[in-house]
Structure 1
Amino acid sequence: MQSFEFLDLILFFGISQGVFLAITIQIIKNKNRPANKVLSIILIMAVLMLLGRMIFFKYLTVRLFQFTILIDTVIFLFGPLCTIYFRRLLFSQQTRFQLPLYHYIPAVVQVIFATYILILTTTQFEEQYALGYFTIPFIIVEGLGLLSNIYYWILNVGLLNRYSKEQKNKVSFQQNLVSFLKFFQIAIGVFILFWIVSFISINFFNYAVKFINYNTVWGSISIFIFIIGYYSLKEPELFRISFEKIKVKPQKRLPQDQIKNLKRDLKYVMENEKLFLKPDLTLRYLSERLDTSTHNISWYLNTVLDSNFYDYINRYRIQEFLKKIENREHLDHTILAISIEVGFNSKSTFNKAFKLEMNDTPSNYIKQMQVLS
């Protein structure tokens, strides 16, 4: 009995936290507001799904079971809303992004199906259920829900990959929320994989895998969504990238005098002003500082230097770090402290940049320097 009471406590705590997060996220100003409006809806849906799992595990009656079928409409809304959340969080565009209405057709069909079931009396439902009238429809609903979530998961992975690739031409720092979103997608992918295993084992082999089933998968997803909500409270607003597919003619080579001027100006602000020390340096800021366009700088970096903005700035930061090591500053400060001092905003970003530039780890490089000296 105690284990069941503990489960009640966990479920009630999860539901209350979901409601709290959905409200709190809306109170916060100027922090990914368009995306967080969608996140609040996702949190409320997670609360409903968790409520449905609580009913199923603890308070199931025939009538409540009929209501849980309506709650399960969430499985057709989770994917589309996550895609909207990702698009609004990662990308900017002139109008607030919305998916076309046809993306919600499966959810509407599920509501109609659930409404029909709710219209039935408990006796009618029990009779039809016992005769197997709902066996095939339930399999179809779960199968379509599974396919829907696989489709939107793949779509969201594509959005993250596109953003990760394009941000290197726009910002010089690592954004922690992007890494967390990747972790979120990996976790959802694992949950979907468990769901696939459960669906196939039950419907094709008539074998139930212990602890891996539809209810535990969606209960876990709901709780995991709350973690996303907490994380979004403390993360700063992401640098969003334009999503509009503007048809731009291939940029012609800059005139030789402009190339020389751009090379000179870049060298000055990097070597004399050390603009790379600014940890949140962006391409837009640099273009405004040099009184030129972002396209001109990108063209120069990509075409002339065969680099991108992210690697170009971090290369200067690594060189500054090496100068400090040569000056033996690492004897008085930690490697992390020096890396932050030269413009990096995280240990992982610094280590990756150092490995790319020096083909070695910072600690090994310093050890070799000490041996040579």
Structure 2
Amino acid sequence: MNRKVILWGLLCCVWSLTGFGADEAPKYHTTFIVDAVPANTPHDASIYLVTDIDGWVTDKAERKFQRSPDGTLVLHLLHSSDTLQYKITRGTWSSVEARKNGRARPNRLLISTASEQTVHMTVESWEDISSHSYTIYMYFLIIAAIQGLLLVVAINTIRNQNKTANSILSVLLVLITISVLGRASTFDPDVFNWEPKLLFVPELILFTYGPIFYLYIHKLLVIEVKWSRIWPQFIPFLVQFALYLPYLALERQTFIYKVLDKELFPYFAITGVLALLFNSAYWIICKRILAGYSTQEHLNEKQKKYLRFLDYVLNIKAIYLGLWLIVVVIYVSGRILNTDLLYISENLIDVLWLLFSLIIFALAYYAVKHPEVLREKKKYQDQKINQDEISSIKNKLIKLLETDQIYLKPELTLESMAHMIPTASHTLSRVINEQFDQHFTELINTYRVDEFIRKVEASGDSASFLEIAFSVGFNSKPTFNRAFKKIKGCTPRQYFKEVHSSDDRH
């Protein structure tokens, strides 16, 4: 009997020593000391330590700091884990500590190197009562989002509009507006605590902007594109949404804990890098489309002006992508060097969102200011014009070209010529197409090239080709060379070389 009692006692000792059946005994004793809190901290506020080992409970009684005689706040913590994340609060997540500028601070990290240690810290500000240095920036995003909604309404009230292109632009504007509002909401602690999943809203635009802008350009320039080639371009967005879906199903407080534990950070970092590559590829594609389309001779001056604006937008987007790349490089460098570069990255990301909202809203503003670019062109069969009117317009046009030599004006446009006749620009365009079998630009360039040849032959070698080209109405060397080659089938030098060779043979 005594042997059984002794054996049972030994088993109990082993059980207790190995920790089976009981919580692991604390190995570390850490003293946390808050040396200073912000001056606007309420004098009767209770200050708590919130840790991951306690499930991020914000007002646990045994985690409340006690005020020492010297005015500092002290808390003794016994813990078994050598690593823990923590923050300081006044009892709620809305009153959690923040950085000096009022923005959310990362979790503090403790790595225990001894069984007993003391940690000193200073609370720089509280999220709920800090003076946010980024308030103006947040308000700007909200105002930009409201402006975006107003532009959507304005675009869709344009008469005779290019409905397809405008509908696509409207969808893009709505997505941008929602994303910008989502970005603004991440700055407000109250909004975050009310609905933390709004953190995902700015992510909407990462894999949708490129395909939608690409489709917009196609429809704006009346370039046919099959839906079977469009929808696969949204697969990256669907994959992104599928990855975030499990987190969207989480309970609100559980989701907040996931954010605090930085569980979502790898998703944001990886999608950010992939989205940079994704949007860079679309930038290249859109740039090539505009470059190819701008060389077409049938474009009028307003269309060319809008193409130049789209190209300008893409140039700004190039700066945007460059800054995005810098953010990625800074992040990777910080990880490699184990250095906190969060402040730099956050400020660059703020600039990115500012630039991003300006780009798309500038595009929409231009569309509203120049609605004629987005209007669908009426077919000739829908316009009534009699033969006498056609003959009258044709005769006046020939007089303007051959007698008045209006083609010598570099700023000449279809609209300005129609005003001289006078007639509607679309009527003049029809007369030129049907009576001269040419577009407006082709007709004017034909007269300019003929005048150029006449002047070169008259001056001999006394003037350069470029000077003469400018004198007959061309405003750039590439435009002149392109027009001459299209009309004569060769470059100016080849043309005159062949002419001289022919004269020598005769």
Q: Which interval holds the TM-score relative to the shorter structure? A: 0.5 to 0.7
Residue 183 of structure 1 corresponds to which residue in structure 2?
312
More moved, 152-161 vs 215-224? 215-224
Cα 1:67–1:318 change in 2 (3 A) is farther
- Following superposition of structure 1 onto structure 2, how do residues 209-248 of structure 1 map, counting pairs within 5 Å? 209=344, 212-238=347-373
Residue 115 (1) aligns with residue 245 (2): yes
| Alpha-carbon displacement from aligned partner over 1:133-163 (angstroms, at most 9, x marks no partner) | 4333222211221111111111110111011
**Which residue identity does 2:445 align to in structure 1?**
Y
Residue 34 (1) aligns with residue 164 (2): yes
The answer for unaligned runs of 5 or more in structure 2 is: 1-130, 336-340, 376-396, 418-427, 456-469, 482-506
**Contact preservation (8 Å) 1:314, 1:353:** no
**Contact preservation (8 Å) 2:161, 2:374:** no
Give the deviation of 1:220 after TM superposition: 2.4
Alignment partners' CA distance in 2, 1:30 and 1:96: 24
Residue 303 of structure 1 corresponds to which residue in structure 2?
none
Higher relative contact order (CA 8 A, sep 6+): 1
Residue 44 (1) aligns with residue 174 (2): yes
* Secondary structure of the structure 1 residue equivalent to 2:434: helix
**Which residue identity does 1:20 align to in structure 2?**
L
**Contact preservation (8 Å) 1:76, 1:107:** yes
Larger radius of gyration: 2
**Contact preservation (8 Å) 1:80, 1:99:** no
The answer for unaligned runs of 5 or more in structure 1 is: 241-265, 299-307, 323-338, 345-349, 358-373
Give the deviation of 1:71 after TM superposition: 3.9
Cα 1:67–1:216 change in 2 (3 A) is same
Residue 139 (1) aligns with residue 272 (2): no
More moved, 139-148 vs 201-210? 201-210
**Which residue identity does 1:220 align to in structure 2?**
L
Alignment partners' CA distance in 2, 1:204 and 1:310: 58
2:216 to 60, 85, 93: 85
Give the deviation of 1:104 after TM superposition: 0.8
Residue 286 (1) aligns with residue 425 (2): no
Give the deviation of 1:18 after TM superposition: 0.8
1:170 to 293, 298, 306: 298
More moved, 18-27 vs 117-126? 117-126
Cα 1:116–1:2 change in 2 (3 A) is closer
Structure having the larger proportion of residues in strand:
2
Cα 1:48–1:354 change in 2 (3 A) is closer
| Alpha-carbon displacement from aligned partner over 1:272-316 (angstroms, at most 9, x marks no partner) | 6968587228987533122x4x5xx99xxxxxxxxx938825826
Alignment partners' CA distance in 1, 2:146 and 2:451: 47
Alignment partners' CA distance in 2, 1:279 and 1:287: 15
Residue 250 of structure 1 corresponds to which residue in structure 2?
none
Residue 236 of structure 2 corresponds to which residue in structure 1?
106
Residue 201 of structure 1 corresponds to which residue in structure 2?
330
Residue 422 of structure 2 corresponds to which residue in structure 1?
none
Give the deviation of 1:226 after TM superposition: 1.1
* Secondary structure of the structure 1 residue equivalent to 2:299: coil
Residue 66 (1) aligns with residue 190 (2): no
Cα 1:100–1:354 change in 2 (3 A) is closer
**Contact preservation (8 Å) 1:79, 1:149:** yes
Structure having the larger proportion of residues in helix:
1
Residue 13 of structure 1 corresponds to which residue in structure 2?
143
Alignment partners' CA distance in 2, 1:202 and 1:76: 21
Residue 365 of structure 1 corresponds to which residue in structure 2?
none
